[in-house]
Each structure stands twice: as structure tokens, then as C-alpha cells.
């Protein structure tokens, strides 16, 4: 246990702390082996951090809303402790790979990095490392706050040997280990036992099937035996800690019980609107099913998805604008002008205005479409034409499906 060995607890052979707070009696056993002189000062008082997480579980939906994760979208929390053998140290490109392989309408990806990463390398360097991922929609949590609420909100955790990953397992979340330095840990510790139990993420194989399998095959209570050591006294840590503090001060403890407050709703994490997406469309009768991946991380991959590039005119990367097969903008953007400015574009859309958007196909009459998503409608039209079907046969009313969301689009010439 880091910090509970003789080198940290003794000075000139004398015990320094008056009390040593432990979360579980199993730590007292290991403390007795590492520093027997400290055992009498040990107090089992649970984990106040975990108690606040437990007090917040019923607010999961509010935390998801605060993070900007809609219903029906799976939230994957990536956690990295610090050091060269951490997840970020071992697999610095993993966050971007997840975003490149997980459809943007079905998944959201958040990252919780240990404060030592932020303070050791500096915020500028952290953001530089994750620049492409941020452009692809990564929810980057601040160094201190937000990670606990994100754990409550998460559907799965990808992590390492850090405490956030262990907390995720204690909350019964499906877990995949992106890195785990078994040799660095006390083999008798609960974290080491957890590392031997949780499945490892294989970086040489596609990530989405592994993540989906981890969620589908997760059984409630899978990690209960090893994570029981998170706290021996769930919900009671604040009371036990206060009693010990007043004992040390030789003061009478207040009569009113201490309050265990639920977690605040997190502020919106650092992120960016995703304005360029690799888009696959499968037409099934009058229904168009769209699967989209962020181009910032997916476009240049050797295994990039088939389909076309659909780009919002707000995109700041000129290359993505010039490469786009579909371009879409706001009410003030004229699709005819867009086609003239970008010769590589085949379909342009603008709007909506009063519920309708304008769509232009190169060398074809203009279309009007009643929808609130001109970009999706334009991608559906592009895919219809790319399959060799005439524009005149386009369904007058179509259903546009992205993830669990369904929209109706009505086309008129």
C-alpha cells in the first residue's frame, strides 16, 4: 500500500501520524506486515469519496444530461492514472481509436485523467495530446471535479490500475483494462486481484466488438468479492471520521449527524461540436439508417469506414471541406453557392427555415425537405444516388435513423 510502509510512517523509528485512516480491515492486515509499529494507530473509517458516489446513484440521469449524453447513447469513461505504465502512458492513442471506432450517434466517450498528468505535463500539453480526440467529440473532464459524476453516468469503463477504474468496478460497471502493470502492485492487494479478474482490452483487435461484448456479458456482482474492500462501512465514513477527529482534539462531538451530500452536477466538459463525419447510409425501403464516425480521427485510418464524408460548413479544417461529398450549413448558406465554391461536393444543404431546408444535387433540380436535420437528409440523398437510383424515385417521406433517434424527412421537388 503506497504511503503505508515504514519509510512513509516512521521518522527515526518513531510513528509520525496519530491516526491512520483505513477503508477496510484487510488494509490493517497488510499494514501489520509492512509497518507493525503503526497498527495501533489504524482506524477503519471507510471511504468518504465512495460514500458520496453511493449517495448520488439515483441522480444518474441528471449527470448524463449535464455531460450532454442523451438517452439511448452509451457513455464510455476512459480513466488513466499517471506514470509511464498507466493507460495514457502505455496506449496514448487509445482514446482517439475508441472515438474512431464507436459510432458517434450510439456512443459518447469521456476521459478522466489523474491530476498528476495535468500538473506534471501542463494543461496545454494534455490538450495537445488529445487535440484530434477533442475535435472528434471527446468529453474531457477537468482534473479534480466531474469524474465521480461521470462514473455514476457511465455505461462502461476502460481504465488501468488507478482508483477510478476500481471505483467503476465497485459500482458494478462493465470494465475493460487498457493497461495494467501487474508487477507494480502488491499481489495480495484488492487492486491486484481486480487486475487478475477484469478482462483486458486487446489493442490488436477491433475495439467496438470487445466493448460491446464486455457490456453484454457483464453479470451483476462480477467484481463484488474484490471490490468489497472499497469500504467496510458504506455510508458511515463521515460519521466515523468526525468521531475520530473530535477524539484527537479532545472535544465533544456535535449531536447532529454529519451530512453526506450527493455530488454536484458536473459542468459541461471540454468538447467540440463534431462538424465532419464519415457517414454510411443503408436504405431499407423508405428508411435510411445512418452510421457516423468523426472524421478528425477516422478519416485517415487504413480501416476507415466505407461511405462518404459529410461536413458542416462551420468546419475549420479546409481539407475536410474540400474532401466533403456532402456539405451542409445554416439558413443563410445558399446550396448553389456551396456547390460552386467546392467542386468536389455532390450534395449541399442549408436551413432549416420554418421547418424546411434546401437541398441541391449537382446538375439536378433543387429539392425542399421538411426536417430539422439538413445534414442527415443530404447524406440520405447522396447515398440514394450513389446506389444508382434516380432522384425522381426518392421516397417522398423517409425516416432518418441515427442510433436510437428517428426523424421524418419529407422531400418535394
Grid coordinates 423517409 are at which residue?
398
The cell numbers describing 230, all together, are 472499497
pLDDT digits (tens, 9 = 90+) for 200-253: 999 999 999 999 999 999 999 999 999 999 999 999 999 999 999 999 999 999
What pLDDT shows up at residue 176? 98
pLDDT digits (tens, 9 = 90+) for 98-124: 999 999 999 999 999 999 999 999 999
Q: 106 in helix, strand or coil? A: coil
Annotated domain spans of the chain: 6-47+233-249, 59-230, 276-412
Grid coordinates 482517439 are at which residue?
96
For residue 413, name the pLDDT band (cuts at 50, 70, 90). Answer: confident
Select 59-230's CATH number: 3.40.50.2000, 3.30.930.10, 1.10.3720.10, 3.40.225.10: 3.40.50.2000
Question: Exposed/middle/buried for 193, CB within 10 Å: 0-12, 13-18, 19+?
Answer: middle
Q: Is the pLDDT of residue 320 over 70?
A: yes
pLDDT digits (tens, 9 = 90+) for 129-185: 999 999 999 999 999 889 999 999 999 999 999 999 999 999 999 999 999 999 999
The cell numbers describing 373, all together, are 436535420
For residue 190, name the pLDDT band (cuts at 50, 70, 90). Answer: very high
User: What is the chain's mean pLDDT, rounded?
Assistant: 95
Q: Is the pLDDT of residue 348 over 90?
A: yes
What pLDDT shows up at residue 5? 87
What pLDDT shows up at residue 199? 97
Cα–Cα nearest to 276, from 246, 309, 306: 309
Before 28, cis peptide (omega within 30)? no
Beta bridge partners of 42: 20
What pLDDT shows up at residue 304? 67
Q: Is the pLDDT of residue 343 over 80?
A: yes
Cα–Cα nearest to 132, from 100, 156, 179, 104: 100
For residue 1, name the pLDDT band (cuts at 50, 70, 90). Answer: low
Residue of higher predicted confidence among 186 and 164: 164
Judge whether 295 and 277 are in contact, CB under 8 Å.
yes
Residue of higher predicted confidence among 188 and 277: 277
Judge whether 158 and 79 are in contact, CB under 8 Å.
yes
Please report, rounded to a whole number, the percentage of residues in the chain having pLDDT higher than 70. Answer: 99
For residue 2, name the pLDDT band (cuts at 50, 70, 90). Answer: low
Distances (CA, A) of 17 to 2, 143, 247, 268: 15, 28, 14, 40
Residue partners of 393: CB distance under 8 A and separation at least 6: none
Length reported for the chain:
413
CA 8 distance to own-chain centroid: 36
Amino acid at each position: 500500500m503506497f504511503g503505508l510502509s515504514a519509510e512513509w510512517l516512521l521518522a527515526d523509528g518513531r510513528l509520525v501520524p496519530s491516526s491512520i485512516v483505513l477503508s477496510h480491515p484487510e488494509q490493517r492486515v497488510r499494514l501489520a506486515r509492512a509497518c507493525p509499529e503503526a497498527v495501533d494507530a489504524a482506524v477503519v473509517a471507510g471511504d468518504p469519496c465512495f460514500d458520496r458516489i453511493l449517495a448520488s446513484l439515483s441522480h444518474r440521469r441528471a449527470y448524463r444530461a449535464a455531460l450532454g449524453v442523451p438517452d439511448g447513447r452509451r457513455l464510455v469513461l476512459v480513466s488513466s492514472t499517471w506514470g509511464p505504465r498507466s493507460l495514457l502512458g502505455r496506449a496514448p492513442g487509445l482514446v482517439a481509436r475508441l472515438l474512431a471506432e464507436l459510432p458517434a450517434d450510439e456512443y459518447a466517450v469521456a476521459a478522466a485523467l489523474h491530476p498528476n498528468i495535468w500538473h506534471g505535463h501542463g494543461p496545454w500539453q494534455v490538450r495537445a495530446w488529445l487535440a484530434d480526440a477533442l475535435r472528434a467529440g471527446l468529453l474531457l473532464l477537468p482534473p479534480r471535479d466531474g469524474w465521480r459524476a461521470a462514473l455514476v453516468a457511465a455505461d462502461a469503463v476502460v481504465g488501468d490500475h488507478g482508483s477510478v477504474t476500481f471505483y467503476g468496478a465497485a459500482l458494478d460497471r462493465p470494465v475493460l483494462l487498457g493497461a495494467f502493470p501487474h508487477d507494480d502492485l502488491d499481489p495480495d492487494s484488492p487492486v491486484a486481484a481486480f487486475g487478475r479478474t477484469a478482462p483486458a482490452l486487446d489493442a490488436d483487435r477491433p475495439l467496438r466488438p470487445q466493448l460491446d461484448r464486455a457490456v453484454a456479458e457483464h453479470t451483476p456482482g462480477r467484481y463484488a468479492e474484490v471490490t468489497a474492500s472499497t469500504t467496510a462501512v458504506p455510508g458511515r465514513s463521515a460519521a466515523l471520521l468526525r468521531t475520530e477527529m473530535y477524539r484527537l482534539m479532545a472535544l465533544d462531538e456535535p449531536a447532529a449527524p454529519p451530512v453526506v451530500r450527493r455530488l454536484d452536477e458536473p459542468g459541461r466538459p471540454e468538447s467540440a461540436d463534431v462538424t465532419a463525419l464519415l457517414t454510411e447510409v443503408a436504405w431499407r425501403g423508405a428508411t435510411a439508417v445512418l452510421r457516423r464516425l468523426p472524421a478528425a480521427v477516422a478519416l485517415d485510418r487504413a480501416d476507415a469506414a466505407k461511405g462518404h464524408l459529410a461536413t458542416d460548413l462551420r468546419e475549420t479544417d479546409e481539407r475536410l471541406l474540400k474532401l466533403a461529398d456532402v456539405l451542409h450549413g445554416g439558413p443563410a448558406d445558399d446550396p448553389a453557392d456551396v456547390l460552386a465554391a467546392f467542386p468536389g461536393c455532390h450534395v449541399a444543404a442549408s436551413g432549416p427555415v420554418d421547418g424546411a431546408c434546401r437541398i441541391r444535387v449537382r446538375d439536378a433540380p433543387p429539392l425542399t425537405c421538411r426536417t430539422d436535420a439538413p445534414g442527415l437528409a443530404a447524406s440520405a440523398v447522396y447515398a440514394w444516388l450513389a446506389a444508382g437510383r434516380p432522384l425522381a424515385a426518392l421516397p417522398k417521406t423517409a425516416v432518418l435513423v441515427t442510433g436510437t433517434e428517428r426523424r421524418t424527412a419529407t422531400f418535394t421537388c
